Amino acid sequence: MPDIHSGSTIVDRPHGQASDARLLRHVMVCLDRSPDAARILEQAVLLANQTGADLTAMRVVPAVSSTLRCADPIDWELTKRDEIADLLRMSDMAGATTEIRAIVACGSATRCIHEEALRCDVDLLVLGTGTFGPPSRWGLGGTARHLAEVFHGSVLLVPDEIAGEPSRRRRIIVPMDGSPLSEAALRFAAAIARIRAAELVILHAVSHVGGFGTGRTGQGDEALWRELKDEAARTAEDRIQRLRRLLPAHRHGNRVRRLSGDEPRRALMKAICEERGELVVLSARGLGNDPDLPIGSTAEYLLSRAVTPVLLIRNAEMSTHRAGGTTPRWPAGLRQEP
């Protein structure tokens, strides 16, 4: 295993407006020297500024080999100073107004980032889909994929390319399946939308109930099919009405969009492209309860095809954004009673 050497410089900045809900406390953004780094940092700075969170910028220098140190002490100290200066320069250009810490480590990117995030009690990791490595067959770079799966907090993934022109209206998109975990994601999305004065759009994909095939069926089979279809329609309508009641009423334009006809994951992906929101807020898990999957199948599908920044939310308390057994409470003024 390579030795890990890290150094940090803390630069005090005036804090931005504090969030009453304390939505985020500590944001860590992971940056390499790719052209996409500035855009990734911009997303992290935006969230940190708007929530009053502490901000850490981290860069990992690859080790020469698995058995050698990154460099002799003098060379490593000089390298570390150069990298820290570059991170702070980038943060200045991105307009960071919160406290900034720059950290440089040497070794495996995945290991260094994960260990440092745990040590610093980070509740949100921000990284690009191809940071520290090219995209894999899953659609994400190996580092991004692994951290999205194993990190206990939430992860904001910024795609290498943003599809299409941004909407003229600020818009936050929330795919929901009616599960308690997706409602937790909605509460975080509502808080972000309020801070940004953005519209909130809920996407709910309705599963299609097909027939029994092309062969001959009796009247009993057709009656059963109609009954199942009607029951699915009633369930979908009840869920849509519940989602509408969950929408905060603080801004005109908030809405629920029902998607049907296509396979649910494809329908969600198509709608996300059509809505052209600035951020997608997504629960890491939904109605599926397979304990062997660190991320639900829908979340995996949307992350691997991300065309806009995606904030993957773990089940957490709003006040600490840590993984836990309860869902976040609505910030004051956001909840709309049925």
Domain ranges within the chain, ordered by starting residue:
7-158, 171-313
Most confident residue range from 4-8, 136-140, 216-220: 216-220
Sign of CA dihedral 18, 24, 28, 34: negative
Residue 306 · residue 281 · CB < 8 Å: no
pLDDT(207) > 50: yes
Q: What is the CATH number of domain 171-313?
A: 3.40.50.620
The single residue listed with the structure tokens 């904001």 is 156
Q: For the residues 238-245, what does the mean pLDDT come to?
A: 70
Query: 144-166: b or e for each residue (b if 16 or more CB lie within 10 Å)?
Result: bbbbbeebebbbbbbbbeeeeee
CATH number of 7-158: 3.40.50.620
Whether the CB-CB separation of 260 and 229 falls below 8 Å is answered with no
Distance between CA atoms of residues 198 and 19, nearest Å: 16
| Sign, Cα dihedral of 286, 290, 294, 295 | negative
Q: Is 6 helix (H, G, I), strand (E, B) or coil?
A: coil
pTM exceeds 0.85 for this model: no
Let me know: does 294 contact 201? Beta carbons within 8 Å: no
Say if residue 48's pLDDT is above 90.
yes
User: What are the tens digits of pLDDT across the range 267-318?
Assistant: 999 999 999 999 999 998 776 666 666 788 888 889 888 889 999 998 555 4
171-313 matches 7-158 in CATH topology: yes
